[in-house]
Chain A
Amino acid sequence: MTDRPRVALFVTCLVDLHRPTIGFAAIRLLENAGCQVEVPRAQTCCGQPAYNSGDRATTRDIARTVIDAFSGYDYVVAPSGSCAGMLRHHMPHLFDDDPNTRARADALAAKTHELISFLTDIRGMTEVTAAYAGTATYHDSCSGLRELGVKAQPRTLLASVAGLSLTEMSEPEVCCGFGGTFCVKYPDISTRMVSDKTRDITATGADTILAGDLGCLLNMAGRLRRENSPVHVRHVAEVLANMTGDVPPIGEGR
């Protein structure tokens, strides 16, 4: 491997559809970390909607396209702990009965990382050049936290953002209630969980909530907007890449 690794960006379906700026922020951060970034065209989704709905056949089909599209790179990086966790921990087991594909899935899993932890743990990044005027609180998205150990990494980099102060929620590690299709299959329970979360966010006095997964961010932003909360919602990569001027916070107009 050269000192300028080829990194494939796994954009994630939500970022593609909903908030491309996160993808561009990821590219900027990866380039700042000395990577050569490419975006394989033949990607759609990591397959979790099918996987978590029990549709293993569709999940396997999608997984094969992912493995084909992403095998030829030094690293695969996603601006999401959930999708990175899918590639890293779940995809190989879809092929327990298919040793050839399993070996390829294992190889892919070994080089797949969540964006922020990749920057710090693999590329040794300790600071960024960015500014954000405000007080933020950080939500630890479940998959990133518990499947990939993403906890200190975003806080380390956020500490170097000029003008930003970080304050913690009382329960930053408790699920926001998104859970993929859970949020629409069990809207009552999901609403209750996200309301507990927005209460915790509000109690910090922070003006911004940051996280590393767009699904959780859409859920929290959706509830905060409905509650007419003044709290802004952004993906942590937007702040770290100094791109908050490019696009309004999630769920807010220009």
Chain B
Amino acid sequence: MHLTSPSFKQNAAKALADPGLQKALAFTRPAFPAKRAAAVAGLPEFERLREIGRDIKNHTLAHLDFYLETWAANVERAGGTVHWCATADEARAAVLKICQEVGARTVTKGKSMISEELGINEHLEAHGIAPVETDLGEYILQIRDEGPSHIIAPAFHLNREDWEESFRKVHTDLPADRVFHERRDILTEARSRLRQKFLAADVGITGANFLIAETGSSVIVTNEGNGDLTQTLPKVHIALASIEKVVPTLEDACSLLRLLARSATGQDYSVYTTFSTGGRRAGDLDGPEQYHVVLVDNGRSNMLGTEFQDMLRCIRCAACMNHCPVYFSVGGHSYGWVYPGPMGSVLTPGLVGVDKAGNLPNASTFCGKCESVCPVKIPLPGLMRHWREREFERHLGPQSVRRGLGVWGWFARRPGMYRAATRVGAWVLGKLGGRDGRLRRLPLAGGWTGTRDLPAPEGDTFFARYARAQRKGAA
């Protein structure tokens, strides 16, 4: 996926001025938080579950080699194949090879963020294989040639009228009087087109919400059932998964599933939760002949053992972005890569480099809402701050900011000098504020005064006034 994170500021400015996007964001903004709050209120042990979720993930990451090897052995025992891929290139090649070996011409796909990260669709197309996205949101984005703007609701940035327009562009036989008033109308249209694709596909590619070491299973959750058709109808099922998806036991996976849907959509459980263990066995009525898991690192192991290891707990529920005021101001595409919102602001610098994605961890007020809703208690603001530290160490931020901070830091370490300097500053700003008590413009402060007045200081510092009051009291 093309990286535009370095131009985050320009992306954001464009997004803020885009009435269609702003309409879509305003429409969806209240929905997810309200649904999550209701789901959490209905489960008294939810806070305890968050701790359990965190601990399961921490334990697994501390013994990741053991659990991955156990999982892989159990996949093989169940007749499946594991492809260990260190890089995106290796993963793309592995997927292509599996497809080519069965002479695949079309491939159906369940929604998968790792597929976006790896650029699977582009790679298959370049080799003459047609990928067909079957998740409703991804289906429309494929028509529009756009990437997802949200990790569980990929077409978050679209309005209903965009759907109709996109359908009419490719479903050219649609009657002119066909209505798209409701979600159901949209769904029916996509479903009618996709049914044939499901039946014709040679390979089905899905992601994986969890890999279970104990059983060698992969798990996906969906609300549309498209994932099940994708992975059961074709001859070959490929599950794409990154290394941090593994959990030790079936019970651990179930604990995390109790957190996942509640945190994501506010459902108690997703409509479909599907466990895949190997391919079709003798006597099975359906299922793929071949079951492959393409297991991807792509930079994640570099985060192990660092302050960023906590990020590998993420179960991709999207609660952080669903509650993020920055996300709801600029939308997902502004972040400029696969993963938007707070989780993307931590993960993206880890995978593409903080030199390219430095804006993301900086574009946060550290309001802490994301951390407060994270089902596995990832300290997202703290991790963003760690990225700022890495940036500072490498002198990657703007020089002007660094210089300003240097001057301020010099004074802040010297209370006497600081007192003198702030007295002058307070007096000058107080005077400039005049009778109005505010400044409408201030040189070098356009970032503030472009859109806000600057309230003027009272005119004398607290310490000056306090010292006077003390002297008067003593006299």
Interfacial residues, chain A to chain B (CB-CB below 8 A)? 11, 13, 15-21, 23-24, 39, 41-45, 47, 49-56, 58, 61-62, 65, 142-143, 146-147, 173-175, 177-194, 196, 218-219, 221-223, 225-226, 233, 247-248, 250-254
Is the CB of B325 closer than 8 A to any CB of chain A? Answer: yes
Question: 9 closest pairs, A vs B, by CB?
Answer: A179-B365, A222-B452, A54-B388, A54-B392, A184-B447, A251-B455, A175-B367, A20-B462, A253-B437
A-contacting 9-mer, from B116-124, B340-348, B401-409: B401-409
Is the CB of B385 closer than 8 A to any CB of chain A? Answer: yes
Is the CB of B457 closer than 8 A to any CB of chain A? Answer: yes
Is the CB of B194 closer than 8 A to any CB of chain A? Answer: no
A193: shortest Cβ distance to chain B, in Å?
5
For the complex with contacts A20-B460, A53-B405, 16 further pairs of A-B residues with Cβ separation under 8 Å are A17-B457, A18-B457, A18-B458, A43-B415, A54-B385, A54-B397, A58-B412, A142-B367, A175-B325, A182-B366, A184-B448, A187-B447, A218-B455, A226-B451, A226-B452, A253-B438
Q: How far is the CA of A142 from the CA of B367 in the complex (A)?
A: 5
| B466 cross-chain contacts in A, Cβ below 8 A | 20, 23-24, 39
Contact call B438/A178, Cβ cutoff below 8 A: no
Cβ-defined partner of A55 (8 Å) among B362, B405, B452? B405
| Chain B, interface SS category | helix
| B391 cross-chain contacts in A, Cβ below 8 A | 54
Within 283-323 of B, Cβ neighbours of A (below 8 Å) are at none
Contact call A52/B426, Cβ cutoff below 8 A: no
| B461 cross-chain contacts in A, Cβ below 8 A | 16-17, 20
Contact call A194/B365, Cβ cutoff below 8 A: no
| B48 cross-chain contacts in A, Cβ below 8 A | none
The closest CB in chain A to the CB of B463 belongs to A16
Cβ-defined partner of A177 (8 Å) among B365, B401, B415? B365
A34: shortest Cβ distance to chain B, in Å?
19
Q: How far is the CA of A58 from the CA of B406 in the complex (A)?
A: 9
The closest CB in chain B to the CB of A252 belongs to B437
Contact call B329/A192, Cβ cutoff below 8 A: yes
A124: shortest Cβ distance to chain B, in Å?
27
How many residues does chain B have at the interface if contact means C-beta atoms less than 8 Å apart? 65
Query: If the complex has contacts A54-B388, A62-B412, A226-B452, are A178 and B422 also in contact, measured as CB distance less than 8 A?
Result: no
| A47 cross-chain contacts in B, Cβ below 8 A | 412
A-contacting 9-mer, from B9-17, B80-88, B168-176, B236-244: B9-17
Contact call A185/B365, Cβ cutoff below 8 A: no
A58: shortest Cβ distance to chain B, in Å?
4
Q: How far is the CA of A190 from the CA of B458 in the complex (A)?
A: 25
| B455 cross-chain contacts in A, Cβ below 8 A | 18, 218, 221-222, 225, 233, 250-251
Cβ-defined partner of B388 (8 Å) among A42, A53, A191, A218? A53
Within 441-458 of B, Cβ neighbours of A (below 8 Å) are at 445-448, 450-458
The closest CB in chain B to the CB of A223 belongs to B452
Is the CB of B330 closer than 8 A to any CB of chain A? Answer: yes
Q: How far is the CA of A250 from the CA of B454 in the complex (A)?
A: 10
| B329 cross-chain contacts in A, Cβ below 8 A | 189, 192-193
Q: How far is the CA of A24 from the CA of B458 in the complex (A)?
A: 13
Q: How far is the CA of A13 from the CA of B369 in the complex (A)?
A: 25
A59: shortest Cβ distance to chain B, in Å?
9
Q: How far is the CA of A16 from the CA of B451 in the complex (A)?
A: 25
| B366 cross-chain contacts in A, Cβ below 8 A | 52, 142-143, 179-180, 182
Query: If the complex has contacts A193-B326, A219-B452, are A44 and B365 also in contact, measured as CB distance less than 8 A?
Result: no
| B388 cross-chain contacts in A, Cβ below 8 A | 52-54
Cβ-defined partner of A252 (8 Å) among B9, B364, B438, B460? B438
Contact call A19/B412, Cβ cutoff below 8 A: no
Residue among A42, A196, A222, A223 with max Cβ neighbours from chain B (10 Å): A222
Contact call A56/B389, Cβ cutoff below 8 A: yes
Contact call A16/B325, Cβ cutoff below 8 A: no
| A49 cross-chain contacts in B, Cβ below 8 A | 405, 408, 412
Contact call A225/B389, Cβ cutoff below 8 A: no
| B438 cross-chain contacts in A, Cβ below 8 A | 222, 225, 251-253
Contact call A185/B405, Cβ cutoff below 8 A: no
Q: How far is the CA of A115 from the CA of B83 in the complex (A)?
A: 58
Query: If the complex has contacts A146-B369, A226-B451, are A17 and B422 also in contact, measured as CB distance less than 8 A?
Result: yes
Q: How far is the CA of A201 from the CA of B274 in the complex (A)?
A: 46
Q: How far is the CA of A61 from the CA of B411 in the complex (A)?
A: 12
The closest CB in chain A to the CB of B467 belongs to A41
The closest CB in chain B to the CB of A250 belongs to B455
Is the CB of B435 closer than 8 A to any CB of chain A? Answer: yes
Contact call B426/A17, Cβ cutoff below 8 A: yes
Q: How far is the CA of A77 from the CA of B408 in the complex (A)?
A: 24
| A183 cross-chain contacts in B, Cβ below 8 A | 447-448
Query: If the complex has contacts A17-B425, A20-B462, A226-B451, are A44 and B363 also in contact, measured as CB distance less than 8 A?
Result: no
Is the CB of B249 closer than 8 A to any CB of chain A? Answer: no
| A23 cross-chain contacts in B, Cβ below 8 A | 462, 466
The closest CB in chain A to the CB of B396 belongs to A54
Q: Give 21 pairs: A residue, B residue, CB < 8 Å, sorted on A.
A: A11-B463, A16-B463, A17-B425, A18-B455, A54-B387, A54-B391, A58-B413, A61-B413, A143-B368, A173-B369, A175-B325, A179-B364, A180-B366, A182-B364, A187-B447, A192-B329, A219-B452, A221-B453, A225-B455, A251-B437, A254-B437
Contact call B12/A188, Cβ cutoff below 8 A: yes
Is the CB of B418 closer than 8 A to any CB of chain A? Answer: yes
Q: How far is the CA of A53 from the CA of B392 in the complex (A)?
A: 7
Cβ-defined partner of A188 (8 Å) among B16, B387, B433, B465? B16
Cβ-defined partner of A194 (8 Å) among B12, B13, B368, B452? B452
Query: If the complex has contacts A20-B460, A146-B369, A184-B448, are A53 and B401 also in contact, measured as CB distance less than 8 A?
Result: yes
| A223 cross-chain contacts in B, Cβ below 8 A | 451-452
Q: How far is the CA of A147 from the CA of B462 in the complex (A)?
A: 26
Query: If the complex has contacts A43-B415, A223-B452, are A189 and B16 also in contact, measured as CB distance less than 8 A?
Result: yes
| B390 cross-chain contacts in A, Cβ below 8 A | 54
Is the CB of B434 closer than 8 A to any CB of chain A? Answer: yes
| A61 cross-chain contacts in B, Cβ below 8 A | 409, 413
| A194 cross-chain contacts in B, Cβ below 8 A | 452
